[in-house]
Homo-oligomer: A and B are copies of this chain.
Amino acid sequence: MIFSEIDTPAVLVDLDIAEANIDRFQAHCDAHDLKLRPHIKTHKLPMIAKRQIQAGAIGITCQKISEAEAMISEGGIDDVLITFNILGDQKLRRLRALAEKVRLSVVADNIETVAGLARTFADAKEPLSVLVECDTGSARCGVMTPEAAKNLALQIETQEGLNFGGLMTYPPVGQEETVQAWLTEAKNMIKASGLDVPVISNGGSPGMWQSQDVPVATEYRIGTYVYNDRSLQERGVCSWDDCALSVLVTVISVPADNRAVVDAGSKVLTSDLLGLDGHGHVLGRPDIKVAGLSEEHGVLTADAINLKVGDRLRIVPNHVCVVSNMLDEVQLIRGEQGLGPCHVPARGKVW
């Protein structure tokens, strides 16, 4: 019985593998003179963030203020970039409080966000560093042209309480040349208008091994790499042995020779497909398909399922960043050794 002391379903995190993942990509960034700023959305654990910083990361990335608040609560993390337009008086007050505790930077892609930040930091001791978010092809947030980036940079720099901090992009996958051209043009326009561009922040786990192909970037933000998952394995970014997070499940029913049911459904594995067929990879049983999820049931199919009620399996999810956000605790392991539960302080911190 695998990890018989751990009740199922449980999210297992193998620290040996996570640490190796951290060190491997840190070495890659060091070799290419790229600063690394891991995104904590994947693990939401201060313990792992500190390990990332210890390995050489310059600080962390958070998507939401509440994530940052949870991550710095234990100390040891003093440099945070929040890659989100922060709006509204409640959030701006919290942002100001956060800036008094850590070296903080944020992003903006619109003048309304800049105006709120400027109002909030007008009388601050230190100006807030604001990067311009650039849409280099992902069609999410971001100004849509290098010229718009330059204009917003100038508007930021003219605000008392704010400094223009540079450029940030969430890049489209596999389009390094386009991203390099876009950011270079924006950088040159901004420099021509008299401003320095101290930081150019690129990111993304799918393109991690091509991160050096956008040499205009000074730093790289990356989340999933710490655990890896089925989506990255399928893209050839990692192997199953590099997957640090798995979901430990128990077979609760074997209704037919070609079907079994386990005790984890979409409330653990989530419904994220990321373009894949099926809901995860059963370690050691590549013949099994995680064919369907109800909220608390996972339906496994195979030509011959060959499982018994009570058997335990480990499933590598399609997308780890959402799975580590489902439960209040993960179970830490090293190989076959269980180290006990670990609370996930930034779980569910979405505001």
A2 to chain B: closest CB distance in Å? 12
Could you list 26 examples of A-B contacts with CB < 8 Å?
A41-B295, A41-B296, A87-B250, A88-B310, A112-B310, A135-B255, A139-B259, A139-B299, A140-B261, A140-B292, A140-B297, A141-B253, A141-B255, A141-B261, A141-B297, A142-B255, A144-B255, A264-B350, A266-B322, A267-B350, A268-B350, A270-B270, A271-B271, A296-B350, A326-B350, A327-B348
Please state if B350 and A110 are interface contacts (CB–CB under 8 Å): no
Besides A110-B253, A141-B261, 13 other CB < 8 A contacts? A41-B296, A63-B296, A85-B309, A87-B250, A87-B252, A88-B310, A135-B255, A140-B294, A140-B299, A142-B255, A295-B321, A295-B322, A328-B348
Instruction: Report B-chain residues with C-beta under 8 Å of the C-beta of A321.
Output: 295
Q: Is the interface of A mostly helix, strand, loop or mixed?
A: loop
Stretch in contact with the other chain, from A5-13, A124-132, A282-290: A5-13
Total interface residues in chain A, CB < 8 Å = 59
Measuring CB to CB, which residues of chain A are less than 8 angstroms from any residue of chain B? 7-10, 41, 63-64, 84-85, 87-88, 90-91, 109-110, 112-113, 135, 139-144, 250, 252-256, 259, 261, 263-264, 266-268, 270-273, 292, 294-297, 299, 308-310, 321-322, 325-328, 348, 350-351
**Cα–Cα, bound, A141→B251 (Å):** 11
Instruction: Report B-chain residues with C-beta under 8 Å of the C-beta of A322.
Output: 266-267, 271, 295
Say which residue of B259, B267, B294 sits within 8 Å of A325 (CB atoms): B267
A341 to chain B: closest CB distance in Å? 12
Q: Closest B-chain residue to A63, C-beta based?
A: B296
Please state if B85 and A252 are interface contacts (CB–CB under 8 Å): yes
7 A-B pairs closest in CB distance: A112-B309, A85-B252, A271-B271, A63-B296, A141-B253, A271-B272, A7-B90
A1 to chain B: closest CB distance in Å? 9
Residue with the highest number of chain B CB atoms closer than 10 Å, among A7, A253, A263, A308: A253
Q: Closest B-chain residue to A113, C-beta based?
A: B309
**Cα–Cα, bound, A10→B256 (Å):** 42
A58 to chain B: closest CB distance in Å? 22
Please state if A271 and B273 are interface contacts (CB–CB under 8 Å): yes
A351 to chain B: closest CB distance in Å? 5
Please state if A250 and B88 are interface contacts (CB–CB under 8 Å): yes
